[in-house]
Amino acid sequence: MTNPQVVTTAAELEKWSTECRQKGEKLVIVPTMGNLHEGHLALVNEAKKHGDRVVVSIFVNPTQFLEGEDFERYPRTLEADIDALSDARVDVVFVPSVDEVYPEGSEEETISAGPIGDVLEGAIRPGHFDAVVTVCKRLFETSHADVAVFGEKDAEQLFLVRQMAQTLTSPVRIVGVPTVRDHDGLALSSRNSYLTKDDRKAALALPHFLKALEQRVNHGDELRAAVSAAQLELAGDSAIELDYLESVNPDTFEPSGESDSQALILGAITVGGTRLIDNRLVHLPR
């Protein structure tokens, strides 16, 4: 077990990354909000395959939480996180303060996530993705990372960060990692800790219907009909609230079209006040 270097200022991180680059080392960043679980650790493992040094950032970004969301109560478990990252042999854990990420005068530098930032999650959480791409841009610039690793669980985020990364003067390659699930199929999430036993059972409706939808399509059901049927069934489940269940082209995030070869089905539900998201990539018969 090695202790990762815990860095709290942007200046320290820049100094470290400059030294690494001078040695010709390739840097990989894994941005997180902490409360690490196996999903995050899968990202760390993937990160190691793409470079010589891995930095994990832990920052609960206040600007991406809307009024009334769970910023205050978001689980913060820094000590356990650092232990887990030590076991995972990462090089640096970057734990900046809010002032460090948003120094005075930087408020005007918020960037737009573009039109896809306003659909699905973005429609329910206005401004969320602008805040996400802005904080990611800052983390990329401070770390001078060559590669950044994100989870496919947050598929819209992954799409928008990838889009933003292409506009940077120093390009960052974005790598996606498949969703890590619990034994029962529920996608691991820090927010799962809010769920009661009953909530958790009810939450399984989301991965269950996503899987069933894929099976229906594989058995010849038309995509739109299968999505509508799943929407109806989920909306009729009194234990959950369905926020959306939609099908998009994974390459554009535009609604699925007739000639698409794949569909990404994205769903969001609220269970006992907790919002959960999940998605599934479905291959479409030609």
Contact residue for ligand AMP among 91, 121, 130, 154 (CB under 6 A): 154
- Binding segment for ligand AMP among 9-17, 36-44, 84-92, 219-227 (CB under 6 A)? 36-44
Determine, following the binding rule CB under 6 A, whether residue 39 of this chain makes contact with ligand AMP: yes
Nearer to ligand AMP among residue 143 and residue 179 (C-beta): 179
- Judged by CB under 6 A, does residue 33 bind ligand AMP? yes
Q: Cα–Cα distances in Å, from 83 out to 46, 63, 80, 160?
A: 19, 27, 5, 31
Find the shortest distance in angstroms from Cβ 41 to ligand AMP. Answer: 9
Report the nearest approach of ligand AMP to the CB of residue 153 (Å).
4
Q: Is 32 in the site for ligand AMP (CB under 6 A)?
A: yes
Chosen residue from 57, 134, 179, 247 binding ligand AMP by CB under 6 A: 179
Task: Decide whether 21 or 211 has the Cβ nearer to ligand AMP.
Answer: 211
The torsion of the CA quartet 207, 234, 281, 274, rounded to 10 degrees, works out to: -60
Min dist. Cβ of residue 250 to ligand AMP (A):
15
- Residue 64 touching ligand AMP (CB under 6 A): no
Rounded to a whole number of angstroms, the minimum distance from the CB of residue 154 to ligand AMP is: 4
| Interface with ligand AMP, residue 177, by CB under 6 A | yes
Is residue 40 part of the annotated active site? The answer reads: yes
Q: Interface with ligand AMP includes 42 (CB under 6 A)?
A: yes
Q: Hey, what amino acid is at 88?
A: A
Ramachandran quadrant class, 220 (left: phi over 0; alpha: psi -120 to 50; beta: rest): left
Among candidate residues 40, 50, 208, 219, the one labeled active-site is 40
Question: Which alpha helices (DSSP H) does 23-77 contain, by range?
Answer: 38-48
59, 136 Cβ separation under 8 angstroms:
no
User: Interface with ligand AMP includes 59 (CB under 6 A)?
Assistant: no
Rounded to the nearest whole angstrom, what is the least distance from the CB of residue 68 to ligand AMP in the complex? 19
Binding test (CB under 6 A) with ligand AMP, winner from 190, 256, 274, 279: 190
Q: Provide the minimum distance between the beta carbon of 270 and ligand AMP in the complex, in angstroms, as a whole number.
A: 17
Rounded to whole angstroms, the Cα distance separating 180 from 152 reads: 9
DSSP secondary structure letter of residue 181: B
Cα 246–Cα 251–Cα 253 angle in degrees, nearest 5: 35
Residue ranges of alpha helices (H) inside the chain are 10-22, 38-48, 78-87, 98-101, 121-124, 128-143, 155-165, 197-203, 205-218, 223-235
Closer by beta carbon to ligand AMP, 17 or else 32: 32
Measure the CA–CA gap between 186 and 277, rounded to whole angstroms: 10
Instruction: Give the span between the Cα atoms of 164 and 173, in whole angstroms.
Output: 11
CA distances from 175 to 46, 71, 169, 196, 268 (A): 8, 27, 18, 33, 23
What residues act catalytically? 40
Residues of the shown chain interacting with ligand AMP in the complex, contacts defined by CB under 6 A: 32-33, 39-40, 42-43, 150-151, 153-154, 177, 179-180, 187-190
